[in-house]
A = this chain, B = another copy of it.
């Protein structure tokens, strides 16, 4: 899906949310309904949908099932990415509970934490393992992706350890900027930036 911009990706995921949650009881949806729900221009919505190769039915609009499937295919929801969550506090737990990541190709295998009281508990069916087992888990099943959800003050230290264990990709939910070798990619989930953009809109 290299040809589509981040703005289009953002809109398509929101259309998908509409089809998955808001309109899940309906058989058809029109571009006007989507445009209205998201406060967008109807022609923009039609253009985005055309990118997914879906044609509307006269008078009825688009089939909810067909459009949902086409967006999933366009965005590659079926390409699985296996990932560990480091940090089983409220943020790590919230991430496991609030979004059905698996539907989007994100397969959370386990959480890791160094609080002995949390070990062996599970959150929404995912086991919490001791952080000391990370290296072993990585070498055993070759998952090199983590979601970092520890308190900011421990972010660097945990990152250093994760990188030592073989982690190569970090989706960082902490507000800390991380020092990593060039072989490691960090993607910042920047909530404060969202807020500032929102206030500036």
Complex: how many Å from CA A10 to CA B6? 14
Q: How many copies does the complex hold?
A: 2
Q: Are A196 and B98 in contact (CB under 8 A)?
A: no
If the complex has contacts A21-B152, A195-B171, are A190 and B10 also in contact, measured as CB distance less than 8 A?
A: yes
A55 within 8 A of B: no
Contact in complex: A171, B192 (CB < 8 Å): no
A47 within 8 A of partner (CB):
no
Chain B residue at minimal CB-CB distance from A189:
B194
- A198's contact among B14, B94, B179, B187, by CB below 8 Å, is which? B187
A82 to chain B, nearest CB (A): 13
Looking at chain A's contact residues, the main secondary structure is helix
Q: Are A175's CB and B9's CB within 8 A?
A: no
Complex interface residues of chain A between 72 and 129 (CB less than 8 A to chain B): 75-76, 79, 81, 89-91, 93-94, 97-100, 104-106
Q: Is the CB of B198 within 8 A of A194?
A: no
A192 adjacent to B6 (CB under 8 Å): no
> What are 21 contact pairs spanning A and B, CB under 8 A?
A6-B197, A6-B200, A9-B196, A9-B200, A10-B190, A13-B190, A17-B175, A20-B175, A21-B152, A21-B153, A21-B175, A21-B176, A22-B178, A75-B196, A76-B196, A79-B199, A98-B173, A98-B174, A98-B175, A104-B192, A187-B201
